[in-house]
Amino acid sequence: MNRPRPAGWEAPVTVAELVDAGPLAGARMYGAGDQPVHQVRIVDELAVFATVAPHTAVVLIGAAAGGGWAVEMAVRRAWEQAAACVIAPSGGPSEGSGQVLAERLGITLVFVDGDPLVTAVRVASAAARPEAARTQLVARCATRLAEAGPSARRVLGVLNAELPGTSVAFLDRYGAHVAGRRAAHPSPAPQPPGSGHTPGVAPGPGSGLGATSAPSAGPGTGRGARPVTGGPSGTGADPGGGSRTGHTGGSGPAHGPRSGDSGAGSRRSSAPAAWEAVPRPGGPGSRTGRAGAEAGPAGDAAGSAATGPGAGAASGSRPAAAGAGGDGGGRGGDEGRQAPERGRDERRQAAQRGGAVLAEVEVTGQEGDVLGRLVASGSSRSAGWPAVVRAVLGLAVAPLAAWAATERLRASRDFALQAALAERLLRAGEPGEPGEEADAAAREAAVALGWPTRGPVTGFLLRPFGEPAQAGSRGPQGADEAAQAQAVVNAVVGQVPVLRRGEGWAGWSALDPGRLAERLRRCVEAMPRPCAAGVGARVSGLDAVGESLLGAEAGAFVAVAGSVVRADRMGPAELLGALPAGALRAPAAVVLRPLLDVDRDGSLLETLTAVLDEGGSLRAAERLGVHRNTVTTRLERIRAAGYDLADPATRLALHLACHLTSAPS
């Protein structure tokens, strides 16, 4: 690391940092872990606590770690001494109750599997030189990133593995997820880090666990998932008995035979064991009715779908996180409202992990174009941690740029590859299309290639005229010329896909139709043989680009060689102008023959054209500068020549023939 270290780099490590990415990795942590650790003290008897200084990580050994209330007592003494945390060997019988006490006192309690003395030495080393520990982490990340090579997935894999407790996602420039951990990243509208997010509230029990594991509800908090009995007078009737398998509550059956909180609500109305309203002392003893019947279903801050009144039957499948009934669920709900389109799992994970953005780094390609952003989120439990995360994210930019360059080089060398990719993207939105994984891969590649995949896009089509310039250049696939077209389009329009459409080549761009038409004009000029191009209308996204491509096709069809036609500007004139006048002139002459035979001065043809163009004799008379009766007389002569002007088919044929005959050849 040559660049100067950002602020916070030398801030003391926190307990959470030690657990997330330090010597306590893999340990079970209860509590927020936000206390800085200045030193370590090994405690073998409680008397030692009298001399424990604030911000000390206390490592319990021997009698001080022995069963009974030893760990709990240490937690309380640690609280008295403002220690940073208590580290105890795991497996003791008091783990469950220690956890409750730790949360009540706000003292972080960490259970480690290994030798506590070894742990103590490592923690001491990390606490003594926080910057060294962080530098070490960053250096390790650099090595692992170098090993990962130019692959977005592997790079993100390294980031998420080396920054535990932190979720790193790679978002494309539209804010859509490309790779990494699909966790609390900002909603699609890019936001500055931190804004609009709940601050990193520690999600409570289970927060030190991996992202994929279900939240472990602590004693008392897991109650929602336990069997619920029918009421004090009906306990015997409950078939569950499931709570017997629970120890201190944390291990209660997650999906026991319960009817859920809301079930209890609905059951309450019929059960005799309702909360009973009681008369005031000394009052006449009038009952105000069974209160329980009015009590709504159990509150479910998570806004889980299954908890409407009387939805008891469905609530058994509620995710455990919602059952936690506490803050975790509530945060999940907030996240969900911010990003309603996101899946439930994602919401839940966001709730679990705390959604604050710790660091965000823009990823640019080697050409300076923006590929997307790396977003790291999690609880900022240490003043130094965001700086470390930012540094590590910074290390990942170069491999991601290299990944993009590699992908682009590959695509530029292989028209078929990128064309197939483009076809895949076009089909991805269609329902029933198999291969979600392939779609994800295609989207990932599109990010590397810099293709537009979200937001307004415009389709285009490049149409060649005549025969290929060089003999044999078409080949069986016309591969050479297609590659040429791709190269020209990429050079002039930018990083866009190019795929075969009929005789021509199509694609889409984020440019608006006007600017795209300008660029295509230069493409048309640069192509070795005559070409025309059409530009479709601007559509809202990739799923509608097919429509835009149809317009582009039409535009290209009506465009004369060397020109570019925008479908959104195309009217009848352009369509009529595109008719193959040369080929149709002879049949037109046949159709008009009876008329031309009697039309000595061309006035009949002129009048017919005017009437059909203007849609009536009055306006035709005005256009021709003659009296209305003159027009009527001439129309009579035309009818006399055998034309039924009331027949729409006849009118269309005549109109077309007139147009071709009167148009300059």
Partner 1 sequence: MILGVALGGRAPVAVAVRDGAFAGPADPRAARAARAACVAVDLEPAGAAPVAVIRVGGPCPPVLGPLAGWPDGSGVATIVRGGHSLTGRPLAPLDTDAVRAFAAGCGLTDFAVTATGSPVLADHELAVAAVVSAEVPGARITLSYEFGRPGLREREGDAIRNAALGPAAGRLADEVAARLPGVPLYFARSGSGLVSEHYFRRYPLACLRGAAASHARGLAALGEAAGVPGPVAAAYGATLAVPEAQVERIVQARGRAELDRVLQDVRDEVLTRVVSAGAAPGSAAIAETIVNPLSYLPDGLYRVLVTARGAAP
Q: Which is nearer to partner 1, 181 or 226 (CB)?
A: 226
Choose which of 8, 10, 39, 97 interacts with partner 1 (CB under 8 A): 97
Per residue in 347-372, is it b (16+ CB within 10 Å) or e — as a string?
A: bbbbbbbbbbbbbbbebebeeeeebb
278 binds partner 1 (CB under 8 A): yes
47 binds partner 1 (CB under 8 A): yes
Within 8 A by CB and 6+ apart from 409, the residues are none
Question: DSSP letter string over 453-518?
Answer: -SS-EEEEEEEE-SS-SSTT-STTT-HHHHHHHHHHHHHHT-S---EEETTEEEEEESS-HHHHHH
Q: Which is nearer to partner 1, 284 or 582 (CB)?
A: 284
Q: Which is nearer to partner 1, 296 or 455 (CB)?
A: 296
The two beta strands, 177-180 and 370-378, are: unpaired
Applying CB under 8 A, the span of 189-197, 273-281, 504-512, 596-604 interacting with partner 1 comes to 273-281
Q: Which is nearer to partner 1, 75 or 321 (CB)?
A: 75
67 binds partner 1 (CB under 8 A): yes
239 binds partner 1 (CB under 8 A): no
**Binding residues among 285-304 for partner 1 as defined by CB under 8 A:** 285, 288, 290-292, 294-296, 298-299
Q: How far is CA 343 from the centre of its chain?
A: 10
* 461: phi then psi, degrees, rounded to nearest 5: -145, 135
Q: Which is nearer to partner 1, 227 or 464 (CB)?
A: 227
CA distance 368 to 360: 18
CA distance 130 to 163: 16
If you count DSSP H runs as helices and E runs as strands, how many of each does the chain have, helices first?
23, 14
What beta strand segments (E) does 100-153 contain? 108-112
CB of 96 to partner 1, least distance (A): 9
Instruction: Let me know the angle formed at the C-alpha of 488 by 483 and 491, rounded to the nearest 5 degrees.
Output: 120
Choose which of 261, 335, 407, 553 interacts with partner 1 (CB under 8 A): 261
Q: Which is nearer to partner 1, 219 or 513 (CB)?
A: 219
Hunting for tokens 């200045």 — which residue is that? 38
CB of 278 to partner 1, least distance (A): 4
**Binding residues among 210-229 for partner 1 as defined by CB under 8 A:** 219-220, 223-224, 226-229
Q: Which is nearer to partner 1, 292 or 452 (CB)?
A: 292
DSSP label at residue 645: T
Q: Which is nearer to partner 1, 195 or 288 (CB)?
A: 288
Are 165 and 208 in contact by the 8 Å Cβ rule? The answer is yes
Q: Which is nearer to partner 1, 73 or 626 (CB)?
A: 73
What separation, in Å, do the N-terminal and C-terminal C-alpha atoms of the chain show?
Answer: 74
- Number of residues located near partner 1, criterion CB under 8 A: 66
65 binds partner 1 (CB under 8 A): no
274 binds partner 1 (CB under 8 A): yes
75 binds partner 1 (CB under 8 A): yes
CB of 69 to partner 1, least distance (A): 5
Contact characters 104-133, partner 1, x per CB under 8 A: xx----------------------------
23 binds partner 1 (CB under 8 A): no
584 binds partner 1 (CB under 8 A): no
| Whole-Å CA distances, 191 to 6, 201, 336 | 22, 20, 16
- Nearest C-alpha neighbor of 663 from the set 559, 581, 543, 557: 581
Q: Give the interface with partner 1 as residue ranges (CB under 8 A).
A: 46-47, 66-69, 72-73, 75-77, 79, 93, 97, 100-101, 104-105, 219-220, 223-224, 226-229, 231-233, 235, 238, 241, 243-249, 251, 261, 264, 268, 272-282, 285, 288, 290-292, 294-296, 298-299, 325-326
